[in-house]
């Protein structure tokens, strides 16, 4: 099994994906263990002093003015975890919880939190055992960290609350720890706070969304090319010299992808035939500009994610010179903004894909295709309602594009009077990514059928490869009306699993 070694300098996005989605084993480096021990010595020295130190010998948030006596500090750390594990609503997905736990471990191993090495090792042991704390949808405002979600994870480390075992069964966390030979942790000064105070949930969801969107943007380039081909459009607008005069990197990459898919097609360039048109519609001609702008937004989001992966988010933080200082680094604004940006560009990509689908189905704009791509229009409705479904998904995408980060609800008796709502931005982006996959799948379903209906003209080799692969995956081609939902579900699985991109790249080589 692949292993991920956690050191003091952060982890990579591929490390997060390996642990969250592929159950990679987690190990602590010797460097991390040494840094943990050194920072712990600093915290324990401060704990022994009579002067109060936030997070070490005081309460938290609006209660930070109270100095906590030594005999109550272990209880304080337990209490913060128990009281903050106050989430409600549906369970959060397993991969999100694993990313959340792993990223918190990443920060703990930085040597900036003051957590003992034994606590970090227990975090790794829980991940390696396949134990997943039950975390709920609601509870994080994305400031002072993803408090409630991280608290539910910390509760599991203490052997309390509920968790899911590797068999998928939810049981008391204490039973699961015992079954895997893991001792529950007894939290000491600062440790409870250090386990809760990070942007790990929203960051984990950002990293997974970027991985999914990378595949989806390639998939959308492919379906846009298939639609252009089915509409007998021109590929001249994809020429690299045209995109060089407006040198946005994403635009050039999308145009190059579309051009690669269309290479060798006999369907392109017929826009001057029986019903001549000077230019293709915007949804076809401007596909690289829209998808390209989304790609560039993703590049910015990756930059933010990489910076966050290299960060140690905690409050207070142990500095290299031995000081323990309060700070505001737990505020989720940098991550929240890009999560919202991605929801906006995903909505626009879905919107332009739906417009191409609608054009394929409209006999007045499809340049010779049958109405709704039906076998016997009037008797058959064809893909009429598939486009309704796509339009409904686009409508939902637009609602999901409303930024969460523009909102703020003060909390903690106005001590935490401005919050990021980054967790909410991440949750709605996950829904947006799911919906975008379905939208692209419906365009794929319509475009492949439309290409097949262009009898007498040979599609591009890449297009033929897509059609063969999608038909082999159980997505039926043109014909009389049938129960459509299973076909659409199969198309969704084809896109979601990366099979569309794989089919094209087998012909064209790697896409941008």
Which are the catalytic amino acids? 54
Cβ(235)–Cβ(259) below 8 Å: yes
Cβ(43)–Cβ(57) below 8 Å: no
* Cis upstream peptide for 430 (omega within 30°): no
Q: For residue 308, which of 198, 396, 394 has the smallest C-alpha distance? A: 198
As a whole number of angstroms, the distance between CA 267 and CA 462 comes to 13
Q: For residue 86, which of 49, 139, 134, 129 has the smallest C-alpha distance? A: 139
Cβ(208)–Cβ(15) below 8 Å: no
As a whole number of angstroms, the distance between CA 332 and CA 440 comes to 31
Give per-residue burial for 42-61: e unless 16+ CB within 10 Å, then b.
bbeebbeeeeebbbbbbbbe
Q: What are phi and psi of 90, to 5 degrees?
A: -60, 155
The residues, any chain, with a CB within 8 Å of residue 14's CB and separated by 6 or more, are none
CA angle 354/360/365 to nearest 5° reads 110
DSSP 183: P
Half-sphere exposure of 364 (CA within 13 A, CB side): 0
* Cis upstream peptide for 316 (omega within 30°): yes
CA 61 to chain centre: 30
CA separation, residue 503 to residues 404, 465, 472, 498, 508 (Å): 37, 6, 11, 9, 9
As a whole number of angstroms, the distance between CA 418 and CA 47 comes to 30
Q: Per the structure block, which two tokens stand in for 359?
A: 């054009």
């Amino acid at each position: 099994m692949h292993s991920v070694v956690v050191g003091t300098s952060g982890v990579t996005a591929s490390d997060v994906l390996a642990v969250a989605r592929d159950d990679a084993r987690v190990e602590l480096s010797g460097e991390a263990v040494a840094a943990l021990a050194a920072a712990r010595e600093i915290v324990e020295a401060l704990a022994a002093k009579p002067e109060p130190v936030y997070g070490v010998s005081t309460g938290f948030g609006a209660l930070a003015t109270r100095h906590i006596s030594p005999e109550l500090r272990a209880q304080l750390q337990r209490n913060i975890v128990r009281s903050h594990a106050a989430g409600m609503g549906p369970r959060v997905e397993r991969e999100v919880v694993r990313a959340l736990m792993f990223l918190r471990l990443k920060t703990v191993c930085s040597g900036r939190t003051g957590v003992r090495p034994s606590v970090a090792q227990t975090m790794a042991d829980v991940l390696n055992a396949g134990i997943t704390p039950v975390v709920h949808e609601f509870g994080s405002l994305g400031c002072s960290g993803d408090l409630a979600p991280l608290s539910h994870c910390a509760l599991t480390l203490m052997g309390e609350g509920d968790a899911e075992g590797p068999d998928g069964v939810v049981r008391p966390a204490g039973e699961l720890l015992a079954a895997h030979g893991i001792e529950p942790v007894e939290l000491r000064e600062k440790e409870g706070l250090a386990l809760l105070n990070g942007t790990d949930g929203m960051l984990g969801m950002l990293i997974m969304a970027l991985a999914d969107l990378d595949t989806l943007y390639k998939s959308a380039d492919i379906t846009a090319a298939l639609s252009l081909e089915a509409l007998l459009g021109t590929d001249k607008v994809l020429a690299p010299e045209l995109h060089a005069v407006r040198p946005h990197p994403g635009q050039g990459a999308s145009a190059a992808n579309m051009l690669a898919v269309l290479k060798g097609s006999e369907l392109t360039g017929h826009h001057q035939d029986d019903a001549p048109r000077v230019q293709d519609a915007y949804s076809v001609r401007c596909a690289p500009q829209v998808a390209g702008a989304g790609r560039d937004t993703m590049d910015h989001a990756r930059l933010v994610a990489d910076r966050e992966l290299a960060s140690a988010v905690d409050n207070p933080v142990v500095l290299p010179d031995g000081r323990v200082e309060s700070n505001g680094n737990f505020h989720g604004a940098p991550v929240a903004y890009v999560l919202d940006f991605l929801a906006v560009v995903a909505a626009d990509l879905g919107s332009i894909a739906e417009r191409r689908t609608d054009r394929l189905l409209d006999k007045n704009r499809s340049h010779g295709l049958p109405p709704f791509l039906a076998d016997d229009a009037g008797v058959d409705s064809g893909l009429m309602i598939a486009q309704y479904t796509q339009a409904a998904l686009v409508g939902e995408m637009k609602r999901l594009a409303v930024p969460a980060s523009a909102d703020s609800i003060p909390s903690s008796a106005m001590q935490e009077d401005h919050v990021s709502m980054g967790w909410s931005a991440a949750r709605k982006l996950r829904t947006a990514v799911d919906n975008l996959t379905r939208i692209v799948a419906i365009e794929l379903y319509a475009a492949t059928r439309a290409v097949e209906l262009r009898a007498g003209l040979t599609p591009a080799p890449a297009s033929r490869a897509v059609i063969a692969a999608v038909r082999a995956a159980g997505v039926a081609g043109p014909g009389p009306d049938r129960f459509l939902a299973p076909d659409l579900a199969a198309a969704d699985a084809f896109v979601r699993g990366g099979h569309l991109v794989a089919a094209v790249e087998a012909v064209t080589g790697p896409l941008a």
